[in-house]
Amino acid sequence: MRKLILRIIGCTLLASQSLVGLSADGPASPFDNLTPGVWTLIGPGDADQVTSLNVTNDGTILLGSDIGGIYQSIDQGDTWFPSNDSLNNYDITTAIIISPTNPNTRFVGTRGGFYKSRDGGKSWQNKRAGLPAELAHKLSGSIGGIAVDPQNPDTVYLGLGYRQSSDGTTTVKKLKWSRYIYLSSDQGESWHPVLAFPHPSKVTQLLASTVHENIIYAATDTGVYRGNSKTKLWQRILNQPCLGILEFSERPMRLLAACGDAGILESTSSGQQWTTRNTGLKFKPHSSGPDRYSIIARAKPGAALFAINSTWGSAGGVYRSTDDTATWHRITDHLPESWLRTSRRINALAFDPTDAKLVYLGSSRYVYRSRDGGDSWSQLISRQTGSGWTHTGINIFGHTRDIEVNPTNPDQIFIATADHGIVVSNDRASSWNTIGEEPRYGQSSADLQFSSGKDALLYSASFTWSNKSCLSVSANGG
């Protein structure tokens, strides 16, 4: 039962009843101040997959993750706290959008539908009135994009996908995307379809025009569309799967699109013609992951442009252009690390609205901050303490498989994970690090077990995602 509970918990948490008998000697430990029945966050820090970032006018950072829900930071990322009350689905699929008229009103999309908060993210409500009915599970309303009309802030647009079975049952078998963009005239309280694509399309971004009234752009897997919410007509302006789009508010009118393995495309003719703007961008079509240029953004008009290739492959990372897309240079070749190996897969980007040089990135595993527009970076998931690391409040650790305490040295705690290897604390959870030598296939450990007796051998069952496995033993704690 103990191991079953540990596998259910997404973050690394311990209750005051756990690990009774730990030594009181040594450095300050989370166990020194436990409250009975209250869970306390421990661990080295892990953002898992950051799916979105946004920064409010007062500098609050809003982070969405794929299994940990929403986190906030009010000190530029130095510390984090969760913001998930009444959020029934923790797979965040869009940025957390702030109402232009009330900073406490916020909107977010999840794989389980659209949510709204009226209290600055302290609590959330699922709003489905007018949307397809929810099935018998929480993954039946995947949101692909949300946009607020800048000229009428009560108007909110929504790109919706939904899960359906192929045999008439409630069994989840596939994700089907809607043909419709939905509109709300009451800040997300109720919805109705307003625009219909020619074919079902996976929406990856919605953008309400800041230049033309009633115009909305949709980046989808079937192309880029421009729609008019009054005439209810769509026009496909780019016949190329795209993930992100940026409209220039200044003259001349321009559009930039981030289009996966096609890179960055530009139009100066309202979408009638497009040219590639890829000088300096890297492409590795035969690498470990396909190229996926997914985000194109800037802090403000006239500022540097940023493009993200969100891939596991060697061309992944963030590229910056300081000459208006004439050339690009990758600025994430030397990202700092804590206890985790860094990842080229960057998923999210945000700028502080009051300081264009203050930039945040979200990746697989990490959150980063730059105070100089991307010239240098610091990681925000862990802080160093003693010889190891401890979390900054974000410790999603979604693949925790087991926790074991050394029976001959109760200050020593081991965590088995499915993609971070085996993590150990030698000081009663005050600090953490990876073990000295990983067992074979040690990046993923399914189970740990100490033998009985004074020798206390540590056994590890490790595996790969290609179904290879190995049983290893250590006589010296890894």
Q: Which residues contact 241 (CB under 8 A, 6 or more apart)?
A: 220, 221, 222, 223, 259, 260
- CB atoms closer than 10 angstroms to residue 416: 26
Higher-confidence position of 169 and 292: 292
Q: Which residues pair with 27 in a beta bridge?
A: none
Phi–psi pair at 400, nearest 5 degrees? -70, 125
Q: What is the pLDDT of residue 444?
A: 83
**Domain segments of the chain as ranges:** 2-43+397-474, 50-384
pLDDT band, residue 135 (cuts 50/70/90): low
Beta-strand runs (E) in 40-155: 40-41, 50-55, 61-65, 70-73, 81-82, 97-98, 106-110, 113-117, 125-126, 143-148
Region 103-111: mean pLDDT is 96
Q: What is the pLDDT of residue 61?
A: 98
The CA distance from 452 to 165, in Å, is: 49
Q: What is the pLDDT of residue 387?
A: 82
Q: Which CATH superfamily is domain 50-384 in?
A: YVTN repeat-like/Quinoprotein amine dehydrogenase (2.130.10.10)
Helix (H) or strand (E) holding 7: helix 2-8
Region 321-341: mean pLDDT is 95
Q: What is the pLDDT of residues 406-437, one digit of tens each?
A: 999 999 999 998 888 899 999 999 999 988 77
Kindly list the strands in the beta sheet with 255-258, ordered across the sheet, starting from the edge strand earlier in the chain: 244-247, 255-258, 264-267, 275-276
Q: What is the pLDDT of residue 5?
A: 38
Sign of CA dihedral 329, 331, 334, 337: negative
Q: Which residues contact 269 (CB under 8 A, 6 or more apart)?
A: none
Higher-confidence position of 29 and 28: 29
Q: Which residues pair with 47 in a beta bridge?
A: none
Report the chain's terminal Cα–Cα distance, integer Å.
Answer: 26
Q: What is the pLDDT of residues 343-355, one digit of tens each?
A: 879 999 999 999 9
Give the amino acid at 41.
L
Q: What is the pLDDT of residue 405?
A: 94
Cα of 433 vs its chain's centroid, Å: 24
Candidates 25, 23, 8, 121; CA nearest to 74 is: 121
pLDDT of 283 > 60? The answer is yes
* Tokens at 242, concatenated: 């795209």
